[in-house]
Structure 1
């Protein structure tokens, strides 16, 4: 069976609701505008849906001049790129420290009111620099890798085992593929989509964020799907893995229905 792209998603602000796309430019640090914004506390430490589940209810709209934010109970916030501050401040994403471009006091106030804590909004600006660990590959505010790939068959396999239905959105992939066997992506080492080649770098370890319902921002009381995944997707290091982190090896353009060509394979941990 032919393996193709089923869906493409970007998440302009880390941990907010994704935007489904028909096509996207692939840049060194991933899909265009994916996780180019991050919310932090007053010290610059990143804030995500792991601690603030309400973030999944923030929706974003991109335009050529800026970004628009909406959330339940909040007025629309419109930000222009030209109005962003010229100030760069330290931002910490996991163990990485980098400089983020401060967006505006209005953005800080809006996010602080919605999330109920002192917040800052930063942009991955021209002077922001970050790399995938132990490599020269750039990455923006994503957890650690430019893109996440997951197959529909893998999700279907999970839903056959899990007592409650799990949505693809709970795993926040960038590229969803169909037409392959469940967990076929575990064995891929190098793939080509359109005119872009990708290194399949590392399985993606999953956390409590996957238990947040993307439509209600509530956490599953029995910690699903992590509880089910732990029964058959736990590595020797104790981490639970689902999906693959991938790194683009060149720039280009990809779109829904593009074929996924497997160029090289590798041994799997499962």
Structure 2
């Protein structure tokens, strides 16, 4: 029997790309996606530009906009100090536009993602995402060691699964597992590639500040990478506390 490396301590899905994620007690992982993950995007309606917090300062407030899915799977959003509002919708677009300071709109990537009767435009997905982004607390601890004044908060890196495991001195362990297979509870994964980090990681959110040194540390010490992408060999649901084993 393979040794247990650690246990799941955080599970996340991101109903709208670039907006804040929704922490979960369990997630359902299909062959190509996490259920409820990255169903919507946000655009500047003046030019139909999709939100890119990693590239433009005007989008830096976007990760502070909260998201959640209702029990029926409908998107709701809330700007800081604002109420939860159904999205896509005129009220949510007005609130987001007022918060950002320019006209913006939430739109679905696919028709089936939104509420019945939605007849508005769709967005073209900016990239084909990996099904799972995995991060370990061992890597977070190594980053904190390299940059002790920074806040190595998982929200900077937008993982789906965070696994608590003992720190390995001098190592970002999951980056060294490329090509290996993992079991997390009943879920079977293949670690396909390292996650190359971008400017999103430096952006401040609730509880931590803007910090360019976070990205500089990863460039210098882990070839720009942090965490890993995984493909799904056997879909399953994953709950907090599920154990992780290398196969």
TM-score scaled by structure 1? 0.73
Instruction: Kindly state the Cα deviation for residue 126 of structure 1 after the two structures are TM-superposed.
Output: 5.0
Query: Distance between the aligned counterparts of 1:30 and 1:251, measured in 2?
Result: 10
Instruction: Kindly state the Cα deviation for residue 127 of structure 1 after the two structures are TM-superposed.
Output: 6.1
Residue aligning to 2:174:
185
Query: Distance between the aligned counterparts of 2:65 and 2:35, measured in 1?
Result: 19
Distance change in 2, residues 1:9/1:120 (3 Å): same
The count of aligned residue pairs is 222
Residue aligning to 1:63:
70
SS at the partner of 1:40?
Answer: strand
SS at the partner of 1:113?
Answer: helix
1:1-270 alignment to 2 at 5 Å? 2=4, 3-42=6-45, 43-50=47-54, 51=56, 52-65=59-72, 66-79=74-87, 103-125=88-110, 144-166=129-151, 167-179=153-165, 181=168, 182-188=171-177, 189-215=180-206, 218-220=209-211, 223-234=212-223, 240-263=224-247
SS at the partner of 2:142?
Answer: helix
TM-score scaled by structure 2? 0.79
Query: Distance between the aligned counterparts of 1:155 and 1:26, measured in 2?
Result: 24
Query: Distance between the aligned counterparts of 1:67 and 1:36, measured in 2?
Result: 9
Residue aligning to 1:82:
none
- More helix by proportion, 1 or 2? 2
Instruction: Kindly state the Cα deviation for residue 142 of structure 1 after the two structures are TM-superposed.
Output: 6.7
Query: Is contact 1:39–1:48 with CA below 8 Å preserved after alignment?
Result: no
Query: Distance between the aligned counterparts of 1:78 and 1:29, measured in 2?
Result: 26
Query: Is contact 1:48–1:55 with CA below 8 Å preserved after alignment?
Result: no
Q: Deviations over 1:55-74 (max 9, x none)?
A: 12111232123222111254
Structure 1 stretches lacking a partner, 5+ long? 80-102, 129-139, 235-239, 264-270
